[in-house]
Amino acid sequence: MKGLKVNVDKYPGALMYTEFDNKGDLDRMSFMVEVKNGKQEVVDMVPPARFSNAGCE
């Protein structure tokens, strides 16, 4: 699955854009959640590593 990109426009069953890098590692949006009253609540979203590591190399 190295280099695979799953786009929600092309694959309607996909929940979000997902990409595998050239090593086969998953790179997609992640979510920070808190549990409140026994339910999960999304408090923040973490961008894919390819965006958050830009300019760090």
Mean pLDDT of 28-42: 93
What span, in angstroms and rounded, lies between the C-alpha atoms of 12 and 57?
35
- Given pLDDT bands bounded at 50, 70 and 90, which one contains residue 57? very low
More confident residue, 55 or 31: 31
Residue 5: which of 23, 25, 19 has the closest Cα? 19
Mean pLDDT of 6-24: 87
H or E segment to which residue 52 belongs: helix 49-52
Q: How many residues does the chain have?
A: 57
Domain ranges of the chain: 5-52
CA distances from 16 to 22, 31, 35 (A): 20, 12, 23
